[in-house]
A and B are shown apart, each in its own frame.
Chain A
Amino acid sequence: MTLHAQQAPSRAWFVHQEAEAAKQPKPRLQWRVDPFMIVAGLIATAALLWALAPGWFAPFAPTDMDPQAILQAPSHTHLLGSDHMGRDVFSLIIYGARQSMMVGVGSAVISLLIGGFIGLVAGYLGGAVDLVTMRLIDIWLSVPSTLLVIIIATALRPNLGNVILTIGLVFAPHVARVMRSLVLSIKSRPFVEASRAIGSSHLSIILRHILPHTLSQVLVTLTLQVAFGMLMGAMMSFIGLGVVQDRPDWGFLLNQGRSYLTTAWWFATFPGLAITLLVISLNTLGEALRRRLDPRGKAA
């Protein structure tokens, strides 16, 4: 079974990861490089490079406003047209990659750290700790995540850090559940019991046996989380919880451009495509990664 892309703030895929995690070792699927994956890899790499060194790729600075060239259709000067302030859409997208990636990666890392820790502890200790934690997580999950994001983001104030923190917090319990079932299944594998029989301490079992086995799943989760974080960030822009800045992220651009769709289609379309393509790519890669890194493949 594979993981898949979903609408931001999606929960469904977590269920799969949980189910996945609980599964018994299986022979590994074949690793086949298909054209989709190559394209996905190229897109993700491009976005990453843009995020790292936008200056190398962008023909204009994101702050270059040309009052003479407002809402210009794509042309030689403005490959993807210009926006309502005369900025170059192509350059905005390149610079926006960093912001979008920061939202995506940042929130993913936060949810992984928090959720991962909770899931690890609950799964490993089991018993009452597990029961209580899982109930708390149920509670957290019973509020649809979009609502949770809105409420928390309103309570905090919308700057980049808080947007990232909010998305991270909202997704953390999902990660916790994935992590927990992962730990539960690894915990019951004989080599863990073997290590216990040897007399290894809990800490060393966790660090040396359990964590390494969650790594591939964690990587996959990270990849997919980045995608969700980005979509969620875009949604926050729409609701008005986005961050206004010189280098707007793609969601913000799309949101700004949305009312120009009939008059200047390129303004919204290209940032939208950027998000969508990157999300698709990350999902495709995440899925491939999961298959590739599957430790069960080696175990079987």
Chain B
Amino acid sequence: MAYVLKRLAAAALVVFGTVTLVFLILYALPGDPASLIAGDDAPPAVIARIRIQLGADQPLWAQYLYYLHGLVTGDLGRSFLTGEPVFGRLAAQLPATLELTFLSAGVAIVLGVLLGVLSAVHRGDWIDNLIQTITMTFTSMPEFWRGILLILIFSVWLHWLPAIGNGDLAQLVLPVACMGVGHAGVLTRTVRNNVLEVIEEPFVATLRGKGLLEGAILYRHVLRSALIPVITTFGMLVSQMLGGVVVIETLFARQGLGRIIAESVGSKDIPMIQGAVLFAALLSVTITVLVDLSYRWIDPRITL
């Protein structure tokens, strides 16, 4: 319990730092938000007024404090562009992104473990080479190219799956495949290499010495030990997927955080970017914490 608290305290610190970092980077973004909000023909007086409304005339630290205050009270501000509350907008978009990310992560981990173990078991022979080559190829393709090819093949030529949309499960298949399969390659290698590494550990010799069958050794013992670095990788991948949605959501015309970020950056909708990055960072920190906690669950030795 103390461990959990400690971990959470550290996470809170990170989140606070992230908030500050994002604030500072965005503060440095060139372009005047006030004139953007004011619209095309706004007279300077109006722009000046809006600038005051935004607090953009205040010194950096005052803006920062104001921003922190908003955060603490759960107010992420309003979009410069549409005037809607940032929190509501993001909250509405979040499920779509989560759905995409978690399903992709699920696909990645299942494929990764299955293929990784298969590859390790067949170390060095053609199955191993085949798996390695295929996963490596998928992983080394720029994501958007992979996505376009998937759409062409499965949607345009085969007419199997819809290419776009946020609706039913079928519409998730291609984006999830695009993201999941790509990342599965990473996990496959991690699993494979860790399994091979763990198999060399002395305790595996003990297990063999006990007369256990190879299958039991592999799945009950080796895989479990091999899982620890895999989970770290996995946590990283999920965090990375949260960034990757910018590409995937555009390509597959889905809604979500990625789209908001892509759009808000273009139009300097600072409250929106701040909010979205904060959301992404929070998610990513949450995942890191979960990963850390899961270590404890998998590996009794770990204490912090």
CB atoms of B28 and A155 under 8 A apart: yes
> Would A142 and B140 count as touching, CB distance under 8 A?
no
Which among A16, A138, A148 is the interface contact of B229 at CB below 8 angstroms?
A: A16
Tell me the A residues contacting B by CB distance below 8 Å.
1-2, 4-16, 19, 36, 135-136, 138-140, 142-148, 150-152, 154-155, 227, 231, 234-235, 238-240, 251, 254-255, 258, 261-262, 268, 272, 275-277, 279-280, 283-284
Cβ contact of B17, chosen from A136, A154, A238, cutoff 8 A? A136
B261, CB-defined interface residue at 8 Å = yes
- Taking a contact as CB atoms under 8 Å apart, the answer to whether A15 and B18 are in contact is no
Please tell me if the beta carbons of B25 and A144 are within 8 angstroms of each other in the complex.
Answer: no
> Shortest Cβ distance from A79 into chain B, in angstroms?
21
Answer yes or no: B105 CB below 8 A from chain A CBs. Answer: no
- Known pairs A5-B136, A151-B26, A235-B247; A251 contacts B142 (CB<8 A): yes
In the bound complex, what is the Cα–Cα distance between A276 and B29 (angstroms)? 33
Q: B194 contacts A1, CB within 8 Å?
A: yes
* Contact pattern, B 103-124, Cβ under 8 Å of A = 1, otherwise 0: 0000000000000000000000
State how many angstroms separate the Cβ of B156 from the closest Cβ of chain A: 7
Contact status B140-A238, CB under 8 Å: no
B255-296 CB mask vs A (1 if < 8 Å, else 0) is 000000110011000000100010011001100100000000
B236 A11 Cβ-Cβ under 8 A: yes
Q: Is B56 an interface residue (CB 8 A)?
A: no
A16 close to B17 (CB less than 8 A): no
The residue in chain A whose Cβ has the minimal distance to the Cβ of B19 is A139
Q: Could you give, for residues 183-201 of chain B, a 1 whenever the CB lies within 8 Å of some chain A CB and a 0 otherwise? A: 1011101100110110000
- Report yes or no: A155 in contact with B140, Cβ–Cβ below 8 A: no
Given A144-B242, A146-B240, A154-B29, do A8 and B143 touch, yes or no (CB 8 Å)?
Answer: yes
| CA gap between A16 and B25 in the complex, in Å | 29
A6 touches B186 (CB 8 A): yes
Main secondary structure of the interface of A (DSSP, over half): helix
In the assembled complex, B170 has its CB within 8 A of some CB on chain A: no
With contacts A10-B186, A146-B244 taken as known, whether A155 is within 8 angstroms of B25 at the C-beta atoms is yes
User: In the complex, what's the smallest C-beta–C-beta distance from B9 to chain A, in angstroms?
Assistant: 12
Given known pairs A11-B239, A146-B243, the reply for A4 and B288 (CB within 8 Å) is: no
6 additional contacts, CB 8 Å, given A146-B243, A150-B261, A234-B145? A4-B190, A11-B240, A140-B21, A144-B244, A147-B261, A151-B273
Instruction: Contact check, B265 vs A151: say whether CB atoms are below 8 A apart.
Output: yes
A238 touches B247 (CB 8 A): yes
Q: Is B284 touching A150 in the complex (CB atoms < 8 A)?
A: no
Which residues of the partner chain A approach B15 to less than 8 Å between Cβ atoms? 142
Residues of A within 8 A of B288 (CB): 142
Q: Is the CB of B25 within 8 A of A235?
A: no
CA distance A106 to B248 in the complex (A): 27
Answer yes or no: B33 CB below 8 A from chain A CBs.
no
Q: Does B253 contact A (CB under 8 A)?
A: no
C-alpha gap A261/B197 in the complex (Å): 42
Q: A145 CA to B21 CA in the complex, in Å?
A: 14
8 sample A-B contacts, Cβ–Cβ < 8 Å, listed by A number = A15-B232, A19-B229, A143-B277, A231-B140, A254-B142, A261-B148, A279-B140, A280-B137
CA distance A16 to B244 in the complex (A): 21
| B145 cross-chain contacts in A, Cβ below 8 A | 234, 254, 258, 268, 272
Interfacial residues of chain B within 134-176, with CB under 8 A of chain A in the complex: 136-137, 139-145, 148-149, 152, 156
- Tell me, rounded to whole Å, the shortest Cβ–Cβ distance linking A38 to chain B: 14
Chain A nearest Cβ from B104, distance in angstroms = 11
Complex partner residue of B265 from A2, A150, A227, CB under 8 angstroms: A150
For the complex of A and B, list the 3 residue pairs with the smallest distance between their C-beta atoms, beginning with the closest. Answer: A146-B243, A144-B243, A139-B17
Residues on A with C-beta less than 8 A from B71 are none
Which residues of chain A are near B18, meaning CB under 8 Å?
139, 142-143
Q: Is B46 an interface residue (CB 8 A)?
A: no
User: B37 contacts the other chain (Cβ, under 8 Å)?
Assistant: no
Cα of A105 to Cα of B158 in the assembled complex, Å:
40
Which residues of the other chain, A, contact B193 by a CB distance below 8 angstroms? 1-2, 4, 16
Q: Which residues of B contact A240 (CB under 8 A)?
A: 266
Tell me the bound Cα distance from A275 to B146 in angstroms: 12
Q: How near does chain B come to A196, taking the closest CB pair, in angstroms?
A: 29
Report A135 CB to chain B, min CB distance, Å: 6
Complex Cα distance, B288 from A234, in Å, reads 27
Report how far A135 CA is from B15 CA in the complex, Å: 11
